[in-house]
Amino acid sequence: MKVAVVGATGLVGGVMLKVLEERKFPVDELLAVASERSAGKSVRFRGRDIAVIGIEAAIAAKPDLALFSAGGVTSLEWAPRFAEVGCTVIDNSSAWRMHADKKLVVPEVNGHVLIAEDRIIANPNCSTIQMVMALAPLHKAYGVQRVIVSTYQAVTGTGMKAVQQLENERKGINGDMAYPFPIDRNVIPRCDVFTDNGYTKEEMKLVVETQKILDPAIRVTATAVRVPVTGGHSEAVNVEFAKEFDLEDVRQMLRTAPGIVLRDDPAKDEYPMPLIAHDRDAVFVGRLRRDETQPRTLNLWIVADNLRKGAATNAVQIAELLVNKGLLRRSSALA
Q: What is the pLDDT of residue 335?
A: 40
In this prediction, residue 38 has a pLDDT band, given cuts at 50, 70 and 90, of: confident
Would you give the DSSP letter of residue 153? E
In this prediction, residue 183 has a pLDDT band, given cuts at 50, 70 and 90, of: very high
Active site residues: 126, 233
> pLDDT of 117-138, one tens digit each?
999 999 999 999 999 999 999 9
**Taking a C-beta distance cutoff of 8 angstroms, is the pair 21, 40 a contact?**
no
pLDDT at residue 237 greater than cutoff 90: yes
Question: What are the phi and psi torsion angles at 169 (to 5°)?
Answer: -65, -40
Return the exposure string of 231-263: e unless at least 16 CB atoms fall within 10 Å of the residue's CB, then b. bbbbbebbbbbeeebeeeebeebbeebebbbbb
Q: What is the pTM of this model?
A: 0.96
Burial status of residue 49 (CB atoms within 10 A of its CB: 0-12, 13-18, 19 or more): exposed
Mean pLDDT of 51-70: 96
User: pLDDT averaged over the chain?
Assistant: 96
pLDDT at residue 334 greater than cutoff 70: no
Domains defined along the chain, listed by start: 2-95+311-334 (3.40.50.720), 127-304 (3.30.360.10)
Helix, strand, or coil here: 205?
A: helix
pLDDT at residue 212 greater than cutoff 80: yes
At residue 296's C-alpha, the angle toward residues 292 and 300, to 5°, is 70
> pLDDT of 303-313, one tens digit each?
999 999 999 99
* Of 216 and 328, the one with more pLDDT: 216
Q: What is the pLDDT of residue 39?
A: 72
